[in-house]
């Protein structure tokens, strides 16, 4: 059951108790809630894809700043579609996808550079440890010199 409302007359308001918002006569017409205003455009077809899931995933796993903008644009698609702004909804959908792709690209580039830098560091560390191991092992000439020094002292 839905409640029907009537217009309050002059001098009546709900706070003072001088009027009731309910209709006495169900056939009486009134303006209930303002309807969503269409921005001069008719809605044809389906709502554009808002790419919300893509935006959320790229925000979490790739690049946070671009991902946040993508989420905002994704939500904007739904809001503009509900108001009737088809062109604005389509533009926001394209922008959401564009920012999501940018977030993904930045995330992949960051990951690749991180792996490259860590790989180079690991290779450098392994080479350095091998050199230290070779330097730490005395060769034959060094052993004879060491024994001669010990004999001279003792």
CA 153/CA 12 separation, integer angstroms: 116
Condensed to tens digits (0 to 9), the pLDDT of residues 4-46 reads: 555 656 656 555 555 555 555 555 555 444 444 444 455 567 8
Condensed to tens digits (0 to 9), the pLDDT of residues 50-88 reads: 899 999 999 999 999 999 999 999 999 999 999 888 999
**Among 16-25, 45-54, 107-116, 120-129, which is the least confidently predicted range?**
16-25
Compare 141 and 81 and report the one with higher pLDDT.
81
Question: Which residues have C-beta within 8 Å of that of residue 79, sequence separation ≥ 6?
Answer: none
Coil, strand or helix: which one is 22? strand
**Cα angle at 10 between 7 and 15, to 5 degrees?**
75
Determine the pLDDT at residue 106.
95
Tokens representing residue 121 in the block:
């560091």
Determine the pLDDT at residue 149.
87
Determine the pLDDT at residue 45.
76
Closest CA to 48 of 6, 80, 11: 80
How many CB atoms neighbour CB 81 within 10 A?
A: 20
Residue 152 confidence (pLDDT) above 90 = no
């Amino acid at each position: 059951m839905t409640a029907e409302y009537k217009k309050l007359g002059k001098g009546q308001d709900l706070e003072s108790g001088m009027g009731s918002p309910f209709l006495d006569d169900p056939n009486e017409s009134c303006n209930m809630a303002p309807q969503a205003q269409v921005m001069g455009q008719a809605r044809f077809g389906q709502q554009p894809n808002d790419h919300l899931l893509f935006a959320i995933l790229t925000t979490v796993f790739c690049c946070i700043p671009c991902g946040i903008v993508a989420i905002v644009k994704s939500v904007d698609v739904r809001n503009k579609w509900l108001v009737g702004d088809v062109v604005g909804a389509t533009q926001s959908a394209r922008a959401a996808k564009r920012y999501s792709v940018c977030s993904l690209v930045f995330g992949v580039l960051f990951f690749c550079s991180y792996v490259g830098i860590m790989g180079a560091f690991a290779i450098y560390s392994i080479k350095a440890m091998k050199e230290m191991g070779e330097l730490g092992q005395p060769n034959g000439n060094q052993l004879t010199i060491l024994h001669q020094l010990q004999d001279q002292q003792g």
